[in-house]
A and B are shown apart, each in its own frame.
Chain A
Amino acid sequence: MNEQQQMLADMADGLFAELGPKATVAGHWGRIAEAGLTGLLVSDANGGFGGSWADALLVFRLAGYHALALPLVEAVVAARLSGVLDGLGSLAMRCEGVIDNGAFTGTVGGIAWGRDADYVIAAAPDGGAMLLRRGDATVREGRSIAGEPRDAWVVERAACTPIDGIDVAAIGAFVRVAQSAGALDAALALAVAHVNDRKQFGRPLAKFQAVQQSLATLACEAAAVNCAALAAAMALDARDASYAVAAAKTRAGEAIGEATAIAHQVHGAIGFTEEYGLHPLTRRLWCWRSEFGGDGHWASVLGGRIAAAGPARFWPDLTAIST
């Protein structure tokens, strides 16, 4: 980490720790805007910070670590894709409809905090991406199992701007992997603290080998996701990231299944309560595993691509991710 990244990470860490899973857009979005975080990936010329995807990973990972209940990651990415800082943007996971004469009619769904967003970036019906302003969209409100807004906009003949060369699903997948990397590390930290503190049979749970071995597995899974997330960020900064992102989202999905089960198991009943801080992490992880394509989807995409290229290309294509 360079000095600038360290400052960015320290700032984000402090702010997100304070806001955490109880934050609300009405009450706390101003703090994010004040810190200038929305412009993280917007160029200096357009009033942003001009950051890289590696910088974004630092911030997104910390948002996941602190289970931040604000559309920070979506806003940062939407601003980057639109290129300017102009209101609150979000990302859509689904899109159904048609574009006719530059106007979109249909539904864009799975929009994090769609009720608060001024514009959304969605996959366009015929490929590529589009920017849709809220206009007079009808907002259908929904919530993920983590309690975060996941809304849909129903629009008729809304003006939309095409954005070329962007795969919304892949970028969304990267974002969720980055958040998951942080949330997995945080779940591990909670679990380690808990088993050192809680005593049964006259000693801390940490002293039981079965507990130690489970947490070692959790740590390995968290480590793998952190490494995969970094690879995807570097690939986004460098070149075509489609392989690295597909691999990272697949690997993250597998890790989430195993790691969340272990984190809950070692906590016992206390981890199953509303009061305790594990569920803001694990409930988000369960959502993120499915959002922007689950591991089944991305494994199939990646497998199809590898099979089409043939066995002789397997190793050269794999090493091309980081070389």
Chain B
Amino acid sequence: MKTFPTEPIVWPDGAAALRAEVRGFLAEHHRHPDPVRRASSWAVPDAAFSRALGEAGYIGMTWPAEYGGHERSALERYIVLEELLAAGAPVGAHWIADRQTGPLLLRYGNEEQRRRWLPGMARGEVYACIGLSEPGAGSDLAAVRTSARREGDDWVINGQKVWTTNAHNAQLMIALVRSEAGSERNAGLSQFLIPMDAPGVTVRPIIDLTGGHDFNEVFLDDVRLPAAALVGVEGDGWKQVTAELSLERSGPERYISSLALLIELIAHAGPDAAEPVRSLIGRAAAQVSTLRLMSATVAARLAAGEDPALAATMVKDLGNSFEQALPHLVQASIEIDTADDTPLAAVLGYLLQVSPSFSLRGGTREILKGIIARGLGLR
């Protein structure tokens, strides 16, 4: 039995130059990052930053030029992403469009959808959100009830999505809905592209436990869409969503949220770090460096045309567990006043509060372990 791909990562020619180029870009556009904003990098929307990234050619990097893309390799894209996230750059506005929605439209979307939406995404001006979860459908995604009904050539959508990150910034949502009345579970589902300004779409904020506003409820009341709003094949929604999720799961964002904390811990410890903090830094670094290579290996296998779904799921599960454990390990090792305004206290305080969500968003820990168990032949 082999649990993980054993092919070494072969970085593309010019990798070092690209890395240096991104670091140069960050030095110019991301000068004095606030440590808490660093820790929330891919949740922080910043329209100006997204536009600058788009101008630099760092969004839609692997997409065809005819849709505004830059035809770079998947590993080049990986280098850019990990550098942006490690620096804690505010990539939240366009993050979902670049990672998930753009590639989904390239794979399944029709020509009209691609021409209409992809160039704006690549410019860093068009943002997307993911309409999967509903009040009655969380882990059990096949329980979605939002419906699409045909009326003449049109589709009429009714229902509700929830926990929709970025819905208040996005111009479009890809929603998973039941397009066949009376269908059950994962049959009869389709994906639709819903412009957020379509009549009948209402977005209501949900405030998270830190007081922040990232996710929302989205109500869909008689939202009328043309036939061309269907994404991919009618009835294939489940299959398409499953493919989308493996893009969602293995990226560097799945382990890197706590990097800002580790960096503040190193600063706090000083050059002659004493135990137990010194060993904690070593243990955390061992985790981070391993996770980075696991994540990059998955990117390399994807680039080679394989579907390393099991490995991708492992990366998310291990990454989330590490990100979640670190704040508590730090708290256990140093005396800290959580009301302090030092960078370390601020990042620690923030991550203690948000880290429970790491093993929920993008598929819960239990669901991921279930997928891994299936890959092992246990179910």
Q: A residues touching B (Cβ–Cβ < 8 Å)?
A: 1, 54, 58, 184-186, 188-189, 192, 195-196, 206-207, 209, 211-213, 215-217, 219-220, 222-224, 226-228, 230-231, 234, 243-244, 246-248, 250-251, 254, 295-296, 298-304, 306-308, 310-311, 314-315, 318-319, 321-323
Most interface-central of A192, A300, A304, A307 (chain B CB within 10 A): A307
A212 touches B6 (CB 8 A): no
Whole-angstrom distance from the CB of A141 to the nearest CB of chain B?
Answer: 34
B86 touches A315 (CB 8 A): yes
| Complexed CA–CA distance, A302 and B285 (Å) | 8
Residue ID in chain B nearest A234 by CB atoms: B8
**Contact count band on B:** 35 or more
- Which 5 A-B pairs rank lowest in CB-CB distance, beginning with the nearest? A303-B282, A299-B282, A307-B273, A212-B373, A302-B282
A299 touches B279 (CB 8 A): yes
B288 touches A223 (CB 8 A): no
B290 touches A227 (CB 8 A): yes
Does B292 make an interface contact (CB < 8 A)? yes
| Complexed CA–CA distance, A247 and B285 (Å) | 7
Given the interface pairs A192-B378, A206-B379, A211-B378, the reply to whether A224 lies near B283 with Cβ below 8 Å is no
B286 touches A251 (CB 8 A): yes
Q: Is the interface of A mostly helix, strand, loop or mixed?
A: helix
Residue ID in chain B nearest A211 by CB atoms: B378
Does B281 make an interface contact (CB < 8 A)? yes
B8 touches A54 (CB 8 A): yes
Q: B residues touching A (Cβ–Cβ < 8 Å)?
A: 1-4, 6-9, 11, 15-16, 19, 82, 86-87, 259, 262-264, 266-267, 269-273, 275, 277-283, 285-294, 296-297, 311, 314, 317-318, 366, 368-370, 372-373, 375-379
Most interface-central of A1, A207, A216, A302 (chain B CB within 10 A): A216
Please indicate the chain A residues that have their CB under 8 angstroms from the CB of B377 in the complex: 192, 196, 206
A220 touches B11 (CB 8 A): no
Task: Select B15's contact among A1, A186, A244, A323, beta carbons within 8 Å.
Answer: A323
Task: Select A322's contact among B272, B277, B279, B296, beta carbons within 8 Å.
Answer: B296
Task: Select B1's contact among A185, A234, A322, beta carbons within 8 Å.
Answer: A185
B378 touches A300 (CB 8 A): no
B282 touches A251 (CB 8 A): no
A sample of 22 inter-chain contacts (CB < 8 A) reads A185-B3, A188-B1, A192-B1, A211-B378, A215-B373, A224-B294, A226-B4, A227-B4, A231-B290, A244-B289, A246-B286, A248-B286, A248-B290, A298-B286, A302-B285, A304-B282, A306-B285, A307-B270, A311-B266, A315-B259, A318-B288, A319-B19
Please indicate the chain B residues that have their CB under 8 angstroms from the CB of A185 in the complex: 1-3
Whole-angstrom distance from the CB of A312 to the nearest CB of chain B?
Answer: 9
Whole-angstrom distance from the CB of A72 to the nearest CB of chain B?
Answer: 19
Most interface-central of B2, B87, B297 (chain A CB within 10 A): B2
B285 touches A223 (CB 8 A): no
